[in-house]
Amino acid sequence: MQVDSDRLVPLGRMALRHALGAILLLAAACASDPVDLRITGDTSSSTTTEAAAETSIPAAAPPLTIAPWSGHRMALSWTFDDGDPSHLGMVIPLLGSLGIPGTFYPTCSEMEPDLDEWVAIGAAGFHEIANHTMTHVEADGSTDTAEIADCHDYLVETVGVDVSTFAYPAGTLDEPYLGYATDNYVAARASWAFVTIVRSSTAPDWSAVPSVFVGDVADDVSAEERIEWPIRAITDTDTEAGWLTLTFHSVGTSRRYGSVSTEEFERVIAHSDQYDVWHGTFADVASYHRGRLAVLGALPERTETDGWVWSWEVPNGMTSIPLLATVESGELLQQGRVVERDAAGRFLVNPSLGELGWQP
């Protein structure tokens, strides 16, 4: 009883299906046996309901899978705090040459001298620039959100970027930032935690995603330890097939805090190179993981004309990083259009649209 829809132009299929449904409904009103209204014979079909005859939509949603970490075994996010001069001078050119996007949390009030450079980096769209407050005031439990809200406005209006994430100054997790970040961003980066690896099957607290601080972030950290910690964390993340966020401050300089040498930084990058890693900005990996869990956790609804539909809530700041989705048969649709596929045949689903349809 299938309409031979494979021969149709995909974008026209939904419109045709609507028209076909209307014709069938009209015919059904005059017919004594709606089963006879099938377009082609199909004696193997056991469906006899009128709705099934009209739409050929199966009674169960097709199994939908979405590859974790954009199809890689693990994800790594490289984040850099406080706008240290080494970021513009060395880190961004180095990461760019390696094809690794970084996430940068400059202190907004200190961006002015290098504003042209930050604007250009933001406009290029490869790296992420996000909120680390206006003057690096630590959270203190107060209610005045000016530090985080003013930095957000500065990044949007003056630097010209979309802001998707936040990093707590000094890793202090408290108001007034906690509520603002929860309401406005897809994720906020915390600091040390007992468990620092995010697994593909579980959601972290999106307002406090853990990260590993790299460098001489404590007085008793030896040169060996400060580089062995992130290296071991990367190895563990491969074992867990999870997501790790690394936090750097000074690289190759010692302006402030958390210094690592250029050689140490390059050694960490080289260590990651032996694994199947998705290097993604904090915003993109958060959006991918959050979007993937949201879609897979959504209860699909059957519609009489369009097939099956999944709907989910889209948090502020979620990017359109495509989810790599697979179904056994049929087509996935968003905003009434058939979703494009990658070279491997996986549908590229936009998590920021909040809705996904399926048709046979």
The CA distance from 133 to 210, in Å, is 18
CA distances (Å), origin 159, targets 108, 116, 128? 10, 8, 12
Q: Contact between 82 and Zn ion (CB under 5 A)?
A: yes
Nearer to Zn ion, 196 or 247 (CB): 247
Nearer to Zn ion, 168 or 278 (CB): 168
The residue at minimum Cβ distance from Zn ion is 81
DSSP 145: -
Q: Which residues contact 62 (CB under 8 A, 6 or more apart)?
A: 308, 327, 328, 329, 330, 358
Antiparallel, parallel or unpaired: β 331-334 and 337-338: antiparallel
Nearer to Zn ion, 265 or 358 (CB): 265
Whether residue 248 contacts residue 260, with contact meaning beta carbons closer than 8 Å, is answered with yes
List alpha helices for 273-319, DSSP H. Answer: 282-297
β-strand partners of 248: 80
Nearer to Zn ion, 47 or 172 (CB): 172
Q: Contact between 238 and Zn ion (CB under 5 A)?
A: no
Nearer to Zn ion, 171 or 291 (CB): 171
CA 16 vs. chain centroid, Å, equals 34
Nearer to Zn ion, 69 or 248 (CB): 248
Nearer to Zn ion, 149 or 241 (CB): 149
Q: Contact between 81 and Zn ion (CB under 5 A)?
A: yes
Nearer to Zn ion, 213 or 308 (CB): 213
Site size toward Zn ion (CB under 5 A) is: 3
Residues from 168 through 197 that contact Zn ion (CB under 5 A): 169
Helix (H) or strand (E) holding 333: strand 331-334
Output 58-64 pairs: Cβ under 8 A, ≥24 positions apart: 58/360, 59/302, 61/300, 61/302, 61/308, 61/310, 61/358, 62/308, 62/327, 62/328, 62/329, 62/330, 62/358, 63/327, 63/328, 64/295, 64/296, 64/300, 64/310, 64/325, 64/326, 64/327, 64/358
Q: Which two tokens stand for residue 333?
A: 């649709």
Residues from 112 through 171 that contact Zn ion (CB under 5 A): 169
Nearer to Zn ion, 181 or 333 (CB): 181
The CA distance from 294 to 309, in Å, is 13
Antiparallel, parallel or unpaired: β 301-303 and 307-311: antiparallel
The CA distance from 129 to 111, in Å, is 11
Q: Contact between 84 and Zn ion (CB under 5 A)?
A: no
The CA distance from 86 to 83, in Å, is 8
**Which window, 75-83, 85-93, 149-157, 311-319, contacts Zn ion (CB under 5 A)?**
75-83
* 3-state secondary structure at position 292: helix
* Interface residues toward Zn ion, by CB under 5 A: 81-82, 169
